[in-house]
Amino acid sequence: MKKKGAIELSMTTVIVIVLGIVLLSLGLIWVRNIFGQVGGVSDDAFNRANDLIGDLESFEGSFLTVVPDEIEISQGGDDGIGVVINNEQETSIIVTITMSSSDPELKCGFLDGRELVGSTEQFTLDSGKHKKFTAGVKDLEGDLRTTSCKIKVLGTNEPDNERTLIVTVKKQSSLFG
Per residue in 122-149, pLDDT (tens digit) is: 999 999 998 988 899 999 988 999 999 9
Length of the chain: 177
Supply the pTM of this predicted model.
0.69
Query: How many Cβ atoms from other residues are within 10 Å of residue 76's Cβ?
Result: 13
**Model confidence over 71-127: pLDDT tens digits?**
999 998 888 898 999 998 899 999 999 999 999 999 999 988 778 899 999 999 999
Q: Which long-range contacts (CB under 8 A, 24 or more apart) does 28-33 make?
A: none
52 with 16, same domain: the answer is: no
* CATH number for position 153: 2.60.40.10
Residue 112 inside a domain? The answer is yes
In a domain, 58, yes or no: yes
pLDDT of residue 8: 65
How confident is residue 12, by pLDDT bands cut at 50, 70 and 90?
confident
Domain residues for the domain of 23 are: 1-39
Q: Which of 89, 109, 96, 120 is nearest to 150 (CA)?
A: 109
Q: Please answer whether residues 120 and 97 qualify as being in contact, where contact means their C-beta atoms are separated by less than 8 angstroms.
A: yes
DSSP conformation class of 59: -
In which band, very low, low, confident or very high, does the pLDDT at 38 lie, cut at 50, 70 and 90? Answer: very low
Please check the confidence at residue 52 and state whether its pLDDT lies above 80.
no
Residue 51: inside a domain: yes
Contact indicator for 153, 93 with CB cutoff of 8 Å: no
On the question of pLDDT at 176 being above 70, the answer is no
The answer to whether residue 57 scores a pLDDT higher than 60 is no
Residues 127 and 153 in one domain: yes
- Of residues 86 and 3, more confidently modeled: 86
In a domain, 117, yes or no: yes
* SS3 category, 142: coil
Position 7 scores a pLDDT of 62
- The answer on 115 and 85 residing in a single domain is yes
Phi/psi at 130 (nearest 5 deg)?
A: -135, 160
Verify that 95 and 131 share a domain, yes or no. Answer: yes
Same domain, 31 and 73: no
Residue 28 — very low, low, confident or very high, per pLDDT cuts 50/70/90?
confident
How many domains would you assign to the chain? 2
Same domain, 137 and 106: yes
Pairwise CA distance, residues 118 & 13, whole Å? 52
* H or E, element range at 65: strand 64-67
